[in-house]
Amino acid sequence: PLPRWWVYMFWATIVFGFGYVGLYGLGNFDGFLTVKVDGEPVTWTSTNQWKAEVQAYDEKLAPLFDGYLATPVAELAKNEEALQTGQRLFKSNCSVCHGTSAMGAQGFPNLTDHDWLYGGSPEKIKETIMYGRQGAMPAWQAVLGDEGVIEMAEYVRSLSGLPHDAEAAEKAAPAFAQNCSVCHGADGKGNQLVGAPNLTDDIWLYGGSTKQIQFTLRNGRAGKMPAQKEILGEDKVHVLAAYIYSLSQN
């Protein structure tokens, strides 16, 4: 005969198996275990459990974030506790593109300086985070041609006082006035209404070397900042905007 302890363990595993299947389900059977999501009981899944835990966490912190939301962004940027929260939000949601230091990378703006494509006021920063931005620099190869692209790159570098071919830059000046000034302005200082960068400050989103500028002119650029309103909610975006605004004030 089998040892008594072995028989007990055998029956215990059977009971455990039925209990586990009854709670968590198997195949088309959902199981009896539920969690509350949006106030309604739903079948347990790891995803639903995660949603329930996030909602419980949000409900717990709601009074704190409500207080933050009622405070203007510029004022909130002076609140150390709020900035610590904003920093955690930034590292969790924004650092993948902008870096943990928020100094950006090629194609991703530096958020610690005073150079803003769409405006650096507290309101504009929050607007950008909430609704996102879609930037588009059209390709000019077909319009300018190979020689025109080379000359225009020299002209663009001249605007920032970088070493350039003065003769080629002079040739490109009329084309700049005719084609590029519509977005970048006659003086090349950009237009925040359309997200056109300032070409006179030697700050380059995609690089300021001759070859990099030529590539931009030939092929264009498409930059996208995803909207965070549906992901974070306005209360967290508000705190995040305060943190980002504080970075450019130091």
pLDDT, tens digit (0-9, with 9 covering 90-100), for 41-98 = 999 999 999 999 989 988 998 999 999 999 999 999 999 999 999 999 999 999 999 9
The CA-based diameter of the chain, rounded to the nearest angstrom, is: 102
Checking if the pLDDT of 124 tops 80, the result is yes
Confidence of residue 245 (pLDDT cuts 50, 70, 90): very high
Give me Rg for the CA atoms of the chain: 28
pLDDT, position 223? 92
Confidence of residue 1 (pLDDT cuts 50, 70, 90): confident
CA distance 149 to 139: 10
User: Residue 219 contacts by C-beta under 8 Å, 6 or more apart in sequence?
Assistant: 139, 141
Torsion-angle region of residue 161: left (phi > 0), alpha (psi -120 to 50) or beta? left
Report which residue type is found at 26.
L
* CA 201 to chain CA centroid, nearest Å: 24
The candidate with the shortest Cα–Cα distance to 135, out of 241, 220, 213, 240, is 220
pLDDT, position 229? 96
Residue 43 φ then ψ, to 5°: -60, 140
**CA dist 155 → 57, 184, 229 (Å):** 54, 13, 40
The candidate with the shortest Cα–Cα distance to 24, out of 3, 7, 49, 2, is 49
pLDDT, position 194? 94
Confidence of residue 250 (pLDDT cuts 50, 70, 90): confident
Domains observed in the chain: 4-56 (no CATH), 71-135+225-248 (1.10.760.10), 140-222 (1.10.760.10)
Q: Can you state the percent helix, strand and coil of the chain, rounding each to 5?
A: 60, 10, 35
Assessment of whether the complete model's pTM goes beyond 0.85:
no
CA distance 171 to 148: 9
pLDDT, position 27? 87
Residue 129, both tokens = 């985070």
If you search the block for the tokens 């092929």, which residue do you land on?
Answer: 219
Q: For the residues 123-141, what does the mean pLDDT come to?
A: 97
Tens of pLDDT, residues 189-235: 999 999 999 999 999 999 999 999 999 999 999 999 999 999 999 99
10 Å CB burial of residue 187 (0-12, 13-18, 19+) is: exposed
